[in-house]
Structure 1
């Protein structure tokens, strides 16, 4: 067996299952889960129709590169969304079966396992980043998020000796779980580090279309364009971005996303994926084209999330330290004032009020003497507004019993 498998930690939701083992939730309450970030809004009918109308494509092997029409639709969306120069669909865009599998497999393609490499990751983080690093033969290095910096990571704190060994930097903007968005200054500093040390930046942007302010979140390709890195001899050098239709279009089961950016990196990644056997089926490609070409359903989706956050956040703020995030569909709340740890809070809330939340320590690792997820909980506001409000009211009741 691959010895690197022994380095993998239990996934957060399995940890949650173990935490709840032996607990019988209060039967007076119907179950409400805020634990998993799985979109619950209905899939738009026009996407379902596009999928159904192209089922004949199941009779054909799809190519790893995907159809020209799909790559063109993705490139067009990137141009419209971020105001960047048109990407070359043939060399700078690659369809993938959801951003998760591509974020993992990129590390397998770009890491030199003999180089004792480092993969830098935010902390808390999407656990795929850590597993990808280990199974590529590298070591993860975690940079803690800082509440005083709107949960941004302080990359200036990373020693030069670490940067010299870095081959891949994972970023998540808007972030999971805190929803923080990287600024143009953040990007400028990171691009400079990438230029100096030669590492690849993998920007995970799957939450980019769920935001709560007037301005959409800044994207990596957009930042590179503003900073003049899109028109140089090697456009978007060492930069690749990942996005997905799962959250944007409420099709998590369709497994459809893309990676875009540096043509040289994508050329090697395409070769890897050709052997990996990860081509997207033609019906899914057709449905994806329909989704990327429409913004009306995205705007409606965003408004539904805004309504939920407007209804739920003020209630939670009565009893926990929490603020409206820049973007994403999570609330990242500090439970310290309840006197309970994040795991105790989650277990008792489940037992007494049948509401599931995810302990923040499950989403992070102890690094530099601290687990930045400790004493926090992540709440995914993916259910409909009424259910979310009911969950918030139960949390308020629970916290009030603690103070009494």
Structure 2
């Protein structure tokens, strides 16, 4: 029913491969930099609220902070019923399709594994829309089969690091309106940009006159933005009619965030200055990658989608030399991702240089 998770497949692949004692793991999209102190201090200060049940709908202080982020970042003033906080975005990506019960779902291929797992759990047929060099690793309307009632987009993209433009996203919004299709845009890497800020599908909705975000939803997370994946703070924003019904569904799911986490997350969502040092670290890592590997610097994320030939053999050889990468085929279906590896540049400069020099020797 469910495919093995990519990391489980990777562990099986490498279990008998000899390797040095120290291995640099570039496989997981988990920031390795310390969470800012003001966020940690808020968590400690509010630990006393562990004696209270959190609301499914989230505390107003958190919702205000998240709407404030959207206003500052996208110049969009969301109404109160146009945003719901979540316990990270992984739970959203899994349980939203269970709520929606689509007959057919389309999403990028390769992809974040939860997209497929949720579709399977919801009993939905799947259209795997391949991301490849020929389409600049961006999904096009021509990839649709015409009978989908739910579409997931992912920009900035994991694993390929591609970024869709406002015009490209606007085409998808127009399609959703014309064909009464729900589109969910996963934008969790939106704040890890190099220079130009990536657009949101919410901006695209406004751009085509869909001011009420009909059929359009965006999700975002604090995990990458604030180097705080342990806070499990995300949100879903957009179509208020869908969100009202989804909130009722969430009451039964039991995924409300503990109050100390909500208060700390509110502090993080309300502050923009602490994010720039993280962006600068990733910029420097990309510059190192360009210098050592000769790759182009992507517009956002902290990933390199590196073409290597045989991704399985490359992964094993890299592991023998002390570097762990993710084979592209483990993140895709029907051959998508083969020939590539995903490299997460989540370490400091010194370890990044060491790992990339080993990869360079293998290319």
* Shorter-chain TM band: over 0.9
Q: Secondary structure at the match of 1:94?
A: strand
Which runs of 4 or more aligned residues in structure 1 lie more than 4 Å from their structure 2 counterparts after TM superposition?
none
Match of 1:229 among 200, 207, 210: 210
Offset, 1:298: 0.6
Contact 1:349–1:356 (Cα < 8 Å) also in 2: yes
Offset, 1:263: 0.5
The two structures have a TM-score, normalised by structure 1, of: 0.88
1:83 aligns with 2:75: yes
Contact 2:170–2:207 (Cα < 8 Å) also in 1: no
Q: Secondary structure at the match of 2:296?
A: coil
Residues 13-54 of structure 1, C-alpha deviations (whole Å, 9 max, x = no match): 000001102112035xx3111111111111000000111111
Match of 1:173 among 137, 152, 155: 155
1:274-285 correspondence to structure 2 within 5 Å = 274-285=251-262
Residues 360-401 of structure 1, C-alpha deviations (whole Å, 9 max, x = no match): 0111101xxxx23010000000111110110011112233xx
Equivalent position of 1:20 in the other structure: 14
Offset, 1:188: 2.2
Distance in 2 (alpha carbons) for counterparts of 1:314 and 1:139: 44
Match of 1:197 among 179, 182, 191: 179
Contact 1:146–1:154 (Cα < 8 Å) also in 2: no
1:279-318 correspondence to structure 2 within 5 Å = 279-317=256-294
1:307-346 correspondence to structure 2 within 5 Å = 307-317=284-294, 322-336=295-309, 341-346=310-315
Contact 2:314–2:362 (Cα < 8 Å) also in 1: no
Q: Secondary structure at the match of 2:305?
A: strand
1:33-44 correspondence to structure 2 within 5 Å = 33-44=25-36
Equivalent position of 1:4 in the other structure: none
Distance in 1 (alpha carbons) for counterparts of 2:115 and 2:259: 29
Match of 1:146 among 132, 137, 142: 132
Corresponding pairs, count: 363
1:377 aligns with 2:341: yes
Residues 64-84 of structure 1, C-alpha deviations (whole Å, 9 max, x = no match): 011111111111110110112
Contact 1:111–1:168 (Cα < 8 Å) also in 2: no
Equivalent position of 1:97 in the other structure: 87
Offset, 1:153: 1.8
List alignment gaps of at least 5 residues for structure 1.
Answer: 1-6, 400-404
Offset, 1:326: 1.7
Residues 178-206 of structure 1, C-alpha deviations (whole Å, 9 max, x = no match): 11111222222211221222121111000
Q: Secondary structure at the match of 2:359?
A: helix
Residues 109-141 of structure 1, C-alpha deviations (whole Å, 9 max, x = no match): 0115xxxx1100111111100010010010111
Distance in 2 (alpha carbons) for counterparts of 1:397 and 1:146: 25
Contact 1:181–1:327 (Cα < 8 Å) also in 2: yes
1:357 aligns with 2:357: no
Match of 2:166 among 177, 184, 187: 184
Distance in 2 (alpha carbons) for counterparts of 1:21 and 1:288: 38
The two structures have a TM-score, normalised by structure 2, of: 0.97
List alignment gaps of at least 5 residues for structure 2.
Answer: none
Match of 1:258 among 222, 232, 235: 235
Residues 207-263 of structure 1, C-alpha deviations (whole Å, 9 max, x = no match): 0001122x2001111111222211xxxx00011111111000011111111111110
Distance in 2 (alpha carbons) for counterparts of 1:315 and 1:139: 43
Q: Secondary structure at the match of 1:248?
A: coil
